[in-house]
Amino acid sequence: MKKRVLLISYHFYPDRAVGAKRPTQLAKTLISEGWEVDVLTKQLDPKSKKEQVASGEYGRIIPVYQHPGLINPTWRLLKRIRNRIKNSSETESQPKTENSTDINNSLFESNVSTFRRVIFSLQSILSETKSWVALSLLYLLAFKLKGVKYDLVISSSPTDSAHFLALLAKKLFSSSWIVDIRDPLILWDEVDKETVTKFRTKFEERMEKNYYRNSDYITVTSPGLQRELIDKKSVPSSNIKTIYNGYDGRALEPTFSDSLPIKFVFAGNLYFKRNPVPLFEAVKRLKRIGVFDSSSINIDFYGDCNSWNGIDLEKWVEKNNIEDIINFKGFVEPQELESLLCKYHVLLNFSQFQPKQIPAKTFDYLRYPGEMLVIAESGSDTERLVTENQLGVVAAPDVDSISAVLETIIEQGGDTERKAKKVQMKRDEFARENQNRIFAEIAMRLVS
């Protein structure tokens, strides 16, 4: 008799979010291993919903509607009311002394600041994902009333709301439970300070402890996150394992030339802490002192790369006279991008200030023949993975380090093809299907 698993993930096929890949391909692997798979996920647009329901490749997908939430529209309404009151007070004809105006403004701003912090904190707790949780809970209760049984529940985050649902599902169905964590559940350093209250802090940290304590096994995507959960969260080392994201599809053959220029590429979005400016500064320096010019190096950016944290990168490049080396290509279709990336000698990967997270791009790039150049701090999980497995080279995120690595790559020139073949020998281990087989073995062990 087939074992039955309930997979709970906010992102899932055909969602284009990066976070959808891991649970989607995991479901496919579990089905190939003989599991019956039900997937509880968020409902997308009507067209995508039809794809979700019609597709049998990834199991029985149950898309659940999510309301936009109560706090977001309420906060927008309050902002409009606030602006009207402020504008009205400014147009009043009744004269006020300068001191009374300053005092009133100060009190007003203080009250607004406090109110903002409370609203934003509530917004994180009563967001649209929580409406998805509430409606998903109704589905779980309906399954229970119908006598549905699950041998195993798997929850994959972000968002951590998936784990809240899985905690309830474990108790409803008396199932084993695997918590799959792609990113740390709580990153207070990366949260807007205005959204952090004592209530929110206590609530989220208490829930995190509940997830770890009630789960039967935990899977994570990086060794650093595994070490943190063992050392700081008291997770038994026997109940946790690192399973990398891996790459999908077959490894591709090179179509680049070994003659100059050496062609670099970045494909994706420059968001969060993926700061390209130190790279640009290094290119500017090396061009100025005559190490290279556009005849020996080209760097192309595909995707949402025209700006970073408010900096217009195209203008920056033009102002610093390196527009002949650095080019912004915009968006291309995935199929076209796949063939394009095979033409590049060096694949750029930005992973600054993420010591316990390995960008999915690190694995996606392993499909392609070029050498990977990662910009990351020494000792980070990404740096260790790339260095220890000889998957590419790593430069610290400062101008001197990046300059040194660029010089070395240019000096080696035509050696790129030999390196590509060497890296190719390491790739199979990191194919997602191989990583997912490890996951499937853990799942079967829990229910046997």
Query: How high is the pLDDT of residue 87?
Result: 59
CATH class of the domain comprising 262-430:
alpha beta
d(CA 276, CA 325): 14
| Nearest CA among 310, 232, 315 for reference residue 271 | 310
Q: What are phi and psi of 180, to 5 degrees?
A: -105, 120
- The H or E element containing residue 301 is strand 297-302
Give domain limits for the chain. Answer: 4-68+127-246+434-447, 71-125, 262-430
Same fold, 4-68+127-246+434-447 and 262-430: yes
Q: Is 45 exposed, middle or buried (CB count within 10 Å of its CB: 0-12, 13-18, 19+)?
A: exposed
Which architecture characterizes domain 4-68+127-246+434-447 according to CATH?
A: 3-Layer(aba) Sandwich (3.40)
Which residues of the chain are under the pLDDT cut of 70?
Answer: 47-55, 68-128, 187-196, 414-426
d(CA 259, CA 332): 26
pTM: 0.80
- Crossing angle, helix 98-125 and helix 198-214, to 10 degrees? 10
Q: Is 12 exposed, middle or buried (CB count within 10 Å of its CB: 0-12, 13-18, 19+)?
A: buried
- Cα within 13 Å of Cα(228), Cβ side: 17
- The H or E element containing residue 298 is strand 297-302
- Cα within 13 Å of Cα(288), Cβ side: 9
Query: How high is the pLDDT of residue 93?
Result: 47
Query: How high is the pLDDT of residue 229?
Result: 95
